[in-house]
Amino acid sequence: MTRHRQTIAVLALLGWFVALYLWLHALGVGGELKCGTGGCDTVQTSRWAEFLGVPVAFYGVVGYAAILAVALMGLQPAWLERRGPTVLLAALATGGVLFSGWLTYLEVFIIQAICRWCVTSAAIMTVLWGVAVHEWAVGRTHPRPTA
Amino acid sequence: MNRFYVMLGTLAVAFCGLLIYLLKTNPAAPRAATEAPVAVLDDGFRGDTLGSNAAPVEIAEYSDFECPYCANFATIQMPTIKDQLIATGKVRWRYRDFPLPGHKYSRYAAHAAQCAGEQGKFWEMHDQLFYHHSWAQTGRNPTSMFRDFARAAGLDLARYDACMESGRFASRIEVSRREGEQRLVDGTPTFFVNGVKFTGPRPTSDAFKAIVDSLTARRK
């Protein structure tokens, strides 16, 4: 349980910085994205770069921050043996991986340009989801007190 | 547990440093290719053309790659004009640069197109710049997008990079702009059909077809 949540916290921190970089770029801070190709700018300037009027990266900043907060809370002695953080982490990660999957689909099939930072974020979220689901599955076979 | 928090804090500090580095190291577009040259030398170049040299009608277009009307014209009207007038040998199309002063990256885009032209791919780059016009709507440095366009247009990127860095076509673009000024170009796109300024209400493929048909009928 501890190892899972520690891993999730590290991945969420990494993902948060990636999303923060993309969000700051969307706000016009720092200029050109370090991408290696122009794919990042193509994606960032496409009509899909915003969702409900907000830069897509902002949802990443909020999502990763929420996951990090829950993982750190779940590492506190009072929550360590409880199942609440496990379920919440699995739910947040599932939402994150679905959102990332949709964005990756848009990049590959609609925008037809690859943003390496977006792919990095999607990969982080996928690994994070795997760890979160594994923790949840282990918890089901070895039940612990509920929150 | 404490070791974990020390490690997490160290990672956070490292990521912060990396983020600041990424945000601060932002290569600017080369000034030589983005600004009007101090000294202007006319190399005799008078624009890239499409169509037969024997075509009875020549249409010269003064255009700005950052201008949204020019992008609309290039993507909506130009395909029909290519099919009906250029491919049929009736028209030779000449592209002239007329970068407007309010457009930050017009000269840079024009320079990218000239660098593509140096490799025989002007029209491929022209289409890349107009068909993916989102670069012109953000005000952000489009260097990496233009490199992507260059790659998509099939350019040798090393030669393209060297050309952009040198800014060697800046004079050529300025000569074209001054020529437009002398011909009283007051906006983009502006067209001249056999040297006569097009003053119709809207520059559409139908409007140009009507003019070309009337000119070619007179010659028969």
**Domain coordinates of chain B in residue numbers?**
33-219
Kindly report, residue by residue over B27-85, the tens digit of the pLDDT: 566 777 777 887 888 999 999 999 999 999 999 999 999 999 999 999 999 999 999 99
Asked if B19 is an interface residue toward chain A (Cβ–Cβ < 8 A), one would say: yes
What radius of gyration, in Å, describes the C-alpha atoms of chain A?
16
Q: Is A79 inside a domain boundary? A: yes
Q: Do B26 and A40 touch (CB under 8 A)?
A: no
Asked whether residue A147 is domain-assigned, the answer is no
CB interface of B with A, residues 59-118, below 8 Å? none
Amino acid identity for residue B3 in this structure: R
Instruction: For residue A34, tell me if it sits in a domain.
Output: yes
Chain B residue with minimum CA distance to A35: B144
Task: Give the residue from B2, B3, B4, B135 with the most A CB atoms within 10 Å of its CB, the best one to mutate.
Answer: B4
**A59 within domain boundaries:** yes
What burial class does residue B157 get, using C-beta atoms within 10 Å of its C-beta: 0-12 exposed, 13-18 middle, 19+ buried? Answer: exposed
ipTM of the complex: 0.80
3 state SS of B141:
coil
Q: Is the pTM of this model over 0.80?
A: no
Please report, for the domain that includes residue A102, its CATH number: 1.20.1440.130
Contact A49, A60 (CB under 8 A): no
A38–B148 CB contact, under 8 Å: yes
**pLDDT (tens digit, 9 = 90+) per residue, A108-137?**
888 888 888 999 999 999 999 999 999 888
> Given CB atoms, is A114 within the 8 Å cutoff of chain B?
no
For A8, name the nearest residue in chain B, comparing CA atoms only.
B8
Nearest residue of chain A to residue B135 (CA atoms): A45
pLDDT score for B38: 77
- Does domain B33-219 fall under CATH 3.40.30.10? My reply is yes
With CA atoms as reference, the chain B residue closest to A114 would be: B148
- Give a yes or no: residue A146 inside a domain: no
**Rounded to an integer, what distance in angstroms lies between the CA atom of residue B110 and that of residue B167?**
11
What are the chain A neighbours of B153 within 8 Å (beta carbons)?
none
Give the pLDDT band of residue B1 (cuts 50, 70, 90): low
CA dihedral B70, B72, B75, B77 (to 10 degrees): -90
**Which residues have C-beta within 8 Å of that of residue A46, sequence separation ≥ 6?**
A111, A113, B134
Judged on CB neighbours under 10 Å (0-12, 13-18, 19+), B32 is: middle
- Beta-carbon contacts of residue A33 (< 8 Å; ≥ 6 apart): A22, A25, A40, A41, A44, A115, A117, B144
In B19-90, beta strands by DSSP E: 48-50, 57-63
Does B196 contact chain A (CB < 8 Å)?
no
The pLDDT score that the predictor gives to residue B127 is 97
Are B105 and B142 a contacting pair, CB within 8 Å?
Answer: yes
pLDDT less than 70: residues of chain A: 1, 30-32, 36-38, 141-147
- Among partner residues A10, A24, A42, which is closest to B148 by beta-carbon distance? A42
The 10s digit of each residue's pLDDT in B112-152 is 999 999 999 999 999 999 999 988 877 777 888 898 899 99
Instruction: Name the strand (E) or helix (H) holding A54.
Output: strand A54-55
Looking at the 3D structure of chain A, how many domains does it have?
1
A-contacting residues of B 162-191, CB under 8 Å? none
* B37 upstream amide cis, omega within 30 of 0: no
Report the chain B residue with the minimal C-alpha distance to residue A28: B140
Q: How far is A46 from chain B (nearest CA, A)?
A: 7
Mark yes or no for CB contact A38/B147 under 8 Å.
yes
Residue B143 dihedral angles phi and psi, to the nearest 5°? -50, -50
Q: Is B131 on the interface with A (CB under 8 A)?
A: no
Question: Which of B10, B13, B140 is the best substitution to test chain A (most A C-beta atoms within 10 A)?
Answer: B140
CB–CB contact B149 A38 (8 Å): yes
Containing domain of residue A26, as a range? 2-141
